[in-house]
């Protein structure tokens, strides 16, 4: 089934011979090892060489770190590995996905809000420049999911659009940019996220479109990228019942499996109908969307048998390696299927020219590599994208522009979602301090008289347990005249940071109060502006606000641009939401 002369491999006779001779000369353990992508627990040389020598891995994804540290890790890996490795980064938003000192360009939705392929190309280009500098050759991007469900907490900022044509256009541009540096992209998450409201990290997930609906949405995107020579695809832990039953009419509800374990979706739909000849890698194998489907000893070989070529991450290396090998010995993985997987893995390595290079030639010289990280012409892109993307979603009151003469006294109100330390650890670099504090300080510098609201929850933390109990008992008694608000402030500015990563929902978390300023009930009493610096879908929880803005992140540059645009007026906001910020609700428009 593997045509190494065709896209995406395009190999000549010499390269094909290397692929096949390398496979023929492998031991069974080496063949099994090639199926694994390791997530390194350490960058220590003894650990890295131990993994290579014991498990013979085919690829690597690594924990975040600075460029110099990642370069050294990758040098060790490539010079110590018998067969060169695919080394993947997660450059979803720029080079910061390859190294922590890399360049952030923008989340997918931020790029989508510009409606301009230039910025998608630049995001790919910068990702490629910085990832290749530190020795990466593969990336788990672009994200080509289509955001059709505002309740979905995992791709709310990580989808270009709800329009498949725009998703395809921007994904193509990203792919073109990153491949200029020799990085092979892996589009994700097949068969497509953004329909279900569940996060496959935490539960099963379903793409519930009919076959006809899938064909003109996700199918159109994947087919377009495949036709362009897409090298690899990441399969998601997402079911697609319509196509699973199309190819297997006898399949009942108990037989539905996520794509990572589904022959119907990988072999019949992706390989057969769409004609994908490239490599398929599973999404991370610790996600409940996969682990909830069957016992781990079974799902390891089942994923390869279904059509995956690479298995993402060991749980326990000894257990997983043994179970994968046993699956081959038991016939779950056939000789033909194992050889196909190895040909695709080695085929991409040959596509990268590994068969013609010495191991010490697989990374640029360290000084040259470090000089490519954070180039001024690349870091400037962040502001350009922010200027082009920031979106005034709703403005049905005459409140903008802001000016100290008009709105000198401003009450700044922080708004948050459920506590989410995971999102902080994997974010794009925004401060752990709530952005409302930063906005308040910068408004003071611009001549405004600023008060930052302290919520009841914040106040409770300063009280003794007895005082906390008294305060909570009186929570509904704490009413105050509206004049207390209107006499002291000219405008209320709510700054919301609501993130749903690794949480079942992505919604505003209001304090257990009524009548306090945390919830903007007072929009008819005093001019009110609501700014979301994270989730683009907060409007569903504050439909009454008359001015609502999406910035898509809370980086320093973004907050500075926000204030410039607030003072410039409505015409300064250039972005257009690429998804439904009104969340399908009629009242959010009013």
CA distance 58 to 160: 31
Q: Which of 283, 309, 538, 580 is catalytic?
A: 283
CA distance 322 to 32: 9
Q: How many alpha carbons lie under 13 Å from residue 165 in its C-beta half-sphere?
A: 1
Identify the H or E element spanning 465: helix 465-473
Identify the H or E element spanning 86: strand 86-89
Return the SS3 of 56: coil
Sheet holding 528-532, edge to edge: 391-395, 547-550, 528-532, 491-497, 409-416, 449-452
Contact 394, 545 (CB under 8 A): yes
CA distance 171 to 124: 9
Catalytic residue status for 283 = yes
Contact 232, 256 (CB under 8 A): no
Angle made by CA atoms 181, 184, 188, in degrees to the nearest 5: 130
Please list, in sequence order, all residues whose beta carbon lies within 8 angstroms of the beta carbon of residue 303, skipping any fewer than 6 positions away: 260, 261, 282, 285, 311
Contact 328, 32 (CB under 8 A): yes
Name the DSSP letter for residue 588: G
By residue count, the chain amounts to: 590
Q: Look up residue 509 and give its two tokens.
A: 């978390």
Please list, in sequence order, all residues whose beta carbon lies within 8 angstroms of the beta carbon of residue 287, skipping any fewer than 6 positions away: 200, 201, 202, 237
CA distance 279 to 343: 9
Nearest to 241 by CA among 203, 219, 208: 208
- Outline where 218-316 has alpha helix (H): 218-227, 241-247, 263, 288-291, 296-306
Each as own residue / partner, the long-range contacts of residues 367-372 (CB below 8 Å, 24 or more positions apart, any chain) are 368/133, 369/67, 369/71, 369/133, 369/134, 369/135, 370/67, 370/68, 370/71, 370/133, 372/129, 372/130, 372/133
Q: How many alpha carbons lie under 13 Å from residue 320 in its C-beta half-sphere?
A: 22
- End-to-end Cα distance, the chain: 56
Q: What are phi and psi of 413, to 5 degrees?
A: -115, 115
Please list, in sequence order, all residues whose beta carbon lies within 8 angstroms of the beta carbon of residue 490, skipping any fewer than 6 positions away: 406, 407, 408, 409, 410, 526, 527
* 391-395 and 547-550 strand pairing: antiparallel
Each as own residue / partner, the long-range contacts of residues 521-525 (CB below 8 Å, 24 or more positions apart, any chain) are 522/482, 522/485, 522/492, 525/482, 525/485, 525/486
Return the SS3 of 357: coil
CA distance 226 to 193: 18
The catalytic residue positions are 283
């Amino acid at each position: 089934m593997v045509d190494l002369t065709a896209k995406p491999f395009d190999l000549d006779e010499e390269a094909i011979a290397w692929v096949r001779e390398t496979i023929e000369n492998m031991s069974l353990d080496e063949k099994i090892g090639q199926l694994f992508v390791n997530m390194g627990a350490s960058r220590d040389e003894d650990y890295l060489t131990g993994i290579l020598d014991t498990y013979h891995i085919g690829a690597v994804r690594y924990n975040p770190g600075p460029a110099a540290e990642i370069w050294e890790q990758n040098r060790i890996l490539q010079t110590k590995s018998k067969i060169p490795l695919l080394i993947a980064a997660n450059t979803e938003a720029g080079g910061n996905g390859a190294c922590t000192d890399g360049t952030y360009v923008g989340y997918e939705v931020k790029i989508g809000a510009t409606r301009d392929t230039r910025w998608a190309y630049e995001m790919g280009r910068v990702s490629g420049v910085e990832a290749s500098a530190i020795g990466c050759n593969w990336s788990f991007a672009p994200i080509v999911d289509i955001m059709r469900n505002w309740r979905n907490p995992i791709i709310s900022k990580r989808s270009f659009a709800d329009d498949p044509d725009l998703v395809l256009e921007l994904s193509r541009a990203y792919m073109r940019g990153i491949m200029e540096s020799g990085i092979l992209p892996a589009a994700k998450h097949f068969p497509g996220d953004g329909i279900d409201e569940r996060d496959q990290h935490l539960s099963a997930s379903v793409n519930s479109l009919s076959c006809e609906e899938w064909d003109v949405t996700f199918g159109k995107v994947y087919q377009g990228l495949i036709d362009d020579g897409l090298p690899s695809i990441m399969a998601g832990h997402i079911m697609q019942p319509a196509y699973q039953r199309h190819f297997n009419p006898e399949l009942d509800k108990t037989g539905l499996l996520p794509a990572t374990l589904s022959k119907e979706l990988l072999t019949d739909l992706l390989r057969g109908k769409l004609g994908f000849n490239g490599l398929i890698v599973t999404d991370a194998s610790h996600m409940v969307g996969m682990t909830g489907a069957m016992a781990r000893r079974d799902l390891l070989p089942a994923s390869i048998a279904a059509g995956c070529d690479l298995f993402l991450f060991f749980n326990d290396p000894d257990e997983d390696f043994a179970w994968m090998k046993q699956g081959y010995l038991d016939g779950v993985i056939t000789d033909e299927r194992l050889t196909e997987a190895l040909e695709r893995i080695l085929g991409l390595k040959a596509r990268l020219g590994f068969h013609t290079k010495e191991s010490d030639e697989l990374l640029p010289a360290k000084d040259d590599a470090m000089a490519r990280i954070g180039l001024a012409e690349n870091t400037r892109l962040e502001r350009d994208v922010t200027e082009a993307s920031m979106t005034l979603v709703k403005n049905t009151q005459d409140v903008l522009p802001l000016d100290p003469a008009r709105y000198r006294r401003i009450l700044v109100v922080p708004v948050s979602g459920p506590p989410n330390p995971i999102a902080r650890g994997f974010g794009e670099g925004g401060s752990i301090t709530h952005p409302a504090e930063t906005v308040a300080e910068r408004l003071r510098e611009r001549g405004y008289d600023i008060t930052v609201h302290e919520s009841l929850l914040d106040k409770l933390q300063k009280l003794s347990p007895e005082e906390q109990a008294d305060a909570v008992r009186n929570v509904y008694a704490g009413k105050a005249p509206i004049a207390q608000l209107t006499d002291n402030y000219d405008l209320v500015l709510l700054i919301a940071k609501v993130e749903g990563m690794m949480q079942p929902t992505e919604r505003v978390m209001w304090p257990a109060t009524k009548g306090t300023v945390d919830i903007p009930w007072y929009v008819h009493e005093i001019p009110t502006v609501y700014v979301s610096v994270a989730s683009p879908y907060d409007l569903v929880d504050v439909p009454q606000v008359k001015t609502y803005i999406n910035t898509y992140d809370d980086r320093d540059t973004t907050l500075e641009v926000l204030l410039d645009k607030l003072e410039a007026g409505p015409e300064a906001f250039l972005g257009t939401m690429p998804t439904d910020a009104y969340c399908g609700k009629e009242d959010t428009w009013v």
